[in-house]
Amino acid sequence: MSDKARKLFEALDLDNNGTLTREEVITAMRKKGPHLAASGDLPFWALGDADASSALFDAADQNGDAVLTLEEFEVVVNRRFGWR
């Protein structure tokens, strides 16, 4: 389990229920993204608009249930951001 992926997941989980919805990812990236990037918890190049956040969600939602688990999220962000 990547500590960076877990930390980012927890930062994006606005309602602290252990899953992410598309709206959570979009809202949290907009509100928290710059701070997460400044603190080194997100690559600066990963900051984007709502479409970029939505695309990240779609890439991670492998089973198509419109909810991301930490495991789904981790696979995509570790690969996309070069984390291990």
- pLDDT, position 63: 95
pLDDT-based confidence at residue 2 (cuts at 50, 70, 90): confident
Structural domain count of the chain: 1
User: What distance in Å separates the CA atoms of residue 21 and residue 81, rounded to the nearest whole number?
Assistant: 20
- Are residues 47 and 75 in contact, defined by beta-carbon separation less than 8 angstroms? no
- Predicted TM-score (pTM) of the model is 0.92
Token pair, residue 26, equals 């979009």
The CATH number covering residue 44 comes to 1.10.238.10
Q: pLDDT tens, 33-79?
A: 999 999 999 999 999 999 999 999 999 999 999 999 999 999 999 99
* Structural domain of 63: 3-81
